[in-house]
Amino acid sequence: MSDGRNKLSAWNRFAALLLAIVWTSAGLFAIAAGVVVGHWLAIVCGLLAVAYGGLWWRVVARARLLSRQDGLAPWHPVERPSRSDSSSR
């Protein structure tokens, strides 16, 4: 997939921003409620929600959809060969 197909419009980026805010806020609330009440499952769900919200924040920052590799290992950037490297073969 080329980067041009994954670019987000302003409206899609705004929707991604709303999703990032909602998922991060819900996750933080679940973590706080889990700590207060003492339910570890709420804390785990909250951590997962914050992580998912973090992926949406990354979509907003990059203004493009994430690939599976970006979502599964966001700390490991994928190096794609440049066009000049592939044309020399």
Is 14 inside any structural domain?
A: no
Contact 35, 43 (CB under 8 A): yes
Helices assigned H by DSSP within the chain: 3-6, 10-37, 40-62, 68-72, 83-87
Is 16 inside any structural domain?
A: no
Is 88 inside any structural domain?
A: no
Is 82 inside any structural domain?
A: no
CA–CA dist 56, 31 (Å, integer): 19
**Above 80 in pLDDT, residue 85?**
no
CA–CA dist 69, 89 (Å, integer): 26
Is 78 inside any structural domain?
A: no
Is 6 inside any structural domain?
A: no
Least reliable range by pLDDT among 3-12, 58-67, 74-83? 74-83
Q: What is the pTM of this model?
A: 0.75
Residue 65 DSSP label: P
Least reliable range by pLDDT among 7-11, 33-37, 82-86? 82-86
- Number of domains the chain is built from: 1
Structure tokens at 8: 């987000």
Location of structure tokens 């020399």: 88
Per the structure, the complete domain to which residue 60 belongs is given by: 23-73
Is 51 inside any structural domain?
A: yes
What's the confidence (pLDDT) of residue 86?
Answer: 53
CA–CA dist 13, 79 (Å, integer): 25
